[in-house]
Structure 1
Amino acid sequence: MDRILRDADPNADPQLTARSDPDVAVGYSPILDVARGSPAGYQAVALDGPATSRDNTVAIIRAALSAFWQLPTNTFISIPIPLHRLGDPLVRDALRQHGDLAGIVLDITDFTPTISPATEVALDDVRAAGALLSVGGRETAQPELGSIIRLRPSIVRLGHAWIADLDQSATKRTAIEVTGRLTAQLDAWILAEAVSTGAELRALSELGVPLAQGPFIGQAQSVWADIDEATIRVLPHAPSASDGQLRALLRQAYTTTDQAAAEHVLPEASGYESVVVIDDTRRPVSLLTRGTFGRWEPTAVLTIHVDTPVAEAVSRAMSRPPETRFLPLVCTDAAGRFLGILKIEDVVTHLTGA
């Protein structure tokens, strides 16, 4: 989740009123980090109706981006944007004016299989600026497999049809487990929407769903709402805290901002087993490992927060496809900056020894 969070601000006040665009009423619905029982982020919500018009979409984007700088420490903000409006010049300008989009999730709604050239360019641009994507179905529909594969999101949203009476449906639990395995292979997170009862939240926790929001989690407000104690007490166990062990297992890796140049250096000459490609803010973007023919081969990065419990780190590593399952994990701080790598054999050995 550290890929999503904005940089920590020690002066942030969680009770500050979020600044809003004067032309639109926007509230912020809390998103629960289910494992830790604390806010993971906030979703911008139009309080006076759906944001379907072009002007409303732009106004909500501007309001949310203005409020971004007052976010509580280690949280992210998500902004709904219809896919067909992402390539709109006004929408693109509103996002471009913000500059760095790290810590911002764009909730892509109204997905269609046909994506216009302008939208394709806009998707590339927001990714390059650091934004992450979230996809899901309309209201009660399930997320389309095509949208998940095409957009490579960081968050997959499950709507009301998935979550309603989940505690009473073995079929729904199985479906969420299968979806969870798919998203894990994509290094994405599931966000359960429309959670309306304690029983549903408890079932989601037992299934290992990391993020949840809905009436039972908290209503949209003009302040950064905390998670109610009554909600936290529903969780079947105390929120998992860091065991503090990953820091002791960190290994250094060669880092570079120029992947093309690094790929031309033989692994033997570098003296390292891995190369981590980072951006200008030291956030990992790719991992190079020794390939079959003795040269570097790029692969997707699986990032792990340094305070993640060891057992959770192993679980996430083992959820990857067989061909990448035993590659190193890339460890980051709360702002997503690179700290070091974790070799799977070190992590597993520590876990079995413990």
Structure 2
Amino acid sequence: MASPVLDDVVPALDTTSSTFTVTYQPILHVAWGTAAGYQAVTHSDGKSEIGTADGDQDAARADLRAAGVAATARAALAAIPTLPTNTFISIPVPLALLADHRIHAALTDYTTLDGVVLDIAEFSIGPLEAVTPALEAYRAAGALVAVGGRGAAQPELTSIVRLKPAIIRLGRAWVRGADRSEAKRSAIEVTGRLAAQLDACILAEGVTTSAELRALAGLDVPLAQGSFIGEAQQFWPDIKRTARTALPTNVAPTDGVLHALVQQSYTTTNLQAAQSVLPETTGFDVLVVLDEQRRPTALLEQGSTGQWVTSPVLAVHIDTPVADAVKQAMARPREVRFTPLACTDDAGRFLGVLRIERLMSHLSAGEPNT
């Protein structure tokens, strides 16, 4: 069965005599045992995937490559209306091509990029400044960013911080034999802590065995991908049953506790206006800043001296187990470790705040379903 959108993108590539096929590889939500999202994968004439060519390719090859990335983007975006509920779609885009007019046209043809993750690879320090305006425009349209290095390498910390990723990818070299290597498990754990401090999560790629998947689950890795989890197919493949059954039995999809612990909070969509009247207000000590889609973007908390301090917001889904919510909170930098969390629904919309002392009290009381 042909991809439903290839008839629209292939004519633009007639001069190359190449045929593009777009498939989707599932990404596992390790805690839930279900698909968290799908990565778009483009193949040309059964050859290597678009995006893996060497940097010294000639101009014709470079044009074909950019056209292939644009084709991937158009195919993935056109397929979004059929995307399973509560999943995202990941589109690989080399860093140097972020501002290419073909990729820009493909991405900006859509009014929103909500549910889209731009998977950025092939880092070099040079292109960062050149592609920043395009990247910020994609982010403003709703796109999230994933970053990752090649092989065992990761992008430099400065690049990761500047790109503000939602996902940090760990390649096959990190995952291979993680169940047998204490050093690799320690490296993954440290990277997970870094990701949490950046309000991001890690995605472990190239999982090929049940032992590797169980090791990742034991390290609380939230996302995983690989042949053991699911092969790329043209229409939203399921997570393999062998992968679901390999997960530890103590990994539960939800404990339902946050529903009872979430509290209402004052909100604003205009931070500047709110800051001008905050010194005169009484009766509340937390204010959450929301964007136009009612997603939390920042949190203001009144300190002991009466001053209002703005902090980055850490959002957790309403169905997150309470112990996982506390673990994410404690992974933050010390100065914001006890700042309330923002609780969100499936669309990322703000539901209320979760106070750390209330979460900790629940855990220490040993109440059921923790």
After TM superposition, the score normalised by the length of structure 2 is 0.87
Deviates more, 1:87-96 or 1:73-82: 87-96
1:186 equivalent to 2:208? Answer: no
Aligned to 1:298: 310
Question: Per chain length, whose mean CA-contact separation is higher, i.e. which structure has more relative contact order (CA < 8 Å, sep 6+)?
Answer: 1
CA drift at 1:129: 1.2
One-letter amino acid of the structure 2 residue matched with residue 50 of structure 1: E
**1-structure distance, mates of 2:82, 2:184:** 37
Aligned residues: 339
Aligned to 1:13: none
Contact 1:165 1:200 in 2 (8 A): yes
1:28 equivalent to 2:27? Answer: no
Cα root mean square deviation, aligned? 1.8
Q: Find the partner of 2:37 among 34, 41, 51.
A: 41
Q: Is the alpha carbon distance of 1:38 and 1:262 closer, same or farther for their aligned partners in structure 2, counting shifts above 3 Å?
A: same
One-letter amino acid of the structure 1 residue matched with residue 29 of structure 2: D
**Structure 1 unmatched ranges of 5 or more:** 1-15
CA drift at 1:139: 4.1
Contact 2:257 2:322 in 1 (8 A): yes
**2-structure distance, mates of 1:280, 1:134:** 23
**2-structure distance, mates of 1:282, 1:18:** 35
Structure 1, residues 281-333: CA drift from partner, whole Å, max 9, x if none? Answer: 11111111124753332211100111111111111111111100000000001
Deviates more, 1:238-247 or 1:99-108: 238-247
**2-structure distance, mates of 1:295, 1:102:** 35
CA drift at 1:280: 1.3
Q: Is the alpha carbon distance of 1:17 and 1:192 closer, same or farther for their aligned partners in structure 2, counting shifts above 3 Å?
A: farther
Structure 1, residues 135-181: CA drift from partner, whole Å, max 9, x if none? Answer: 00124533432322221211000001101111111111111111111
1:134 equivalent to 2:150? Answer: no
Deviates more, 1:107-116 or 1:141-150: 141-150
One-letter amino acid of the structure 2 residue matched with residue 41 of structure 1: G
Aligned to 1:98: 110
After TM superposition, the score normalised by the length of structure 1 is 0.91
One-letter amino acid of the structure 1 residue matched with residue 292 of structure 2: D
Aligned to 1:224: 236
**2-structure distance, mates of 1:18, 1:306:** 35
Aligned to 2:70: 58
Contact 2:303 2:309 in 1 (8 A): yes
CA drift at 1:241: 2.7
Q: Is the alpha carbon distance of 1:67 and 1:273 closer, same or farther for their aligned partners in structure 2, counting shifts above 3 Å?
A: same
Structure 1, residues 76-111: CA drift from partner, whole Å, max 9, x if none? Answer: 110000111111122122211112111111000111
**Structure 2 unmatched ranges of 5 or more:** 11-19, 52-64
- Identity rate, percent: 53
CA drift at 1:252: 1.4
CA drift at 1:66: 0.6
One-letter amino acid of the structure 2 residue matched with residue 64 of structure 1: A
Q: Find the partner of 2:187 among 165, 175, 186.
A: 175
Paired residue secondary structure (2:306):
coil
Contact 1:17 1:223 in 2 (8 A): no
CA drift at 1:257: 1.1
Aligned residue runs from structure 1 range 190-339, under 5 A: 190-267=202-279, 269=281, 271-291=283-303, 294-339=306-351
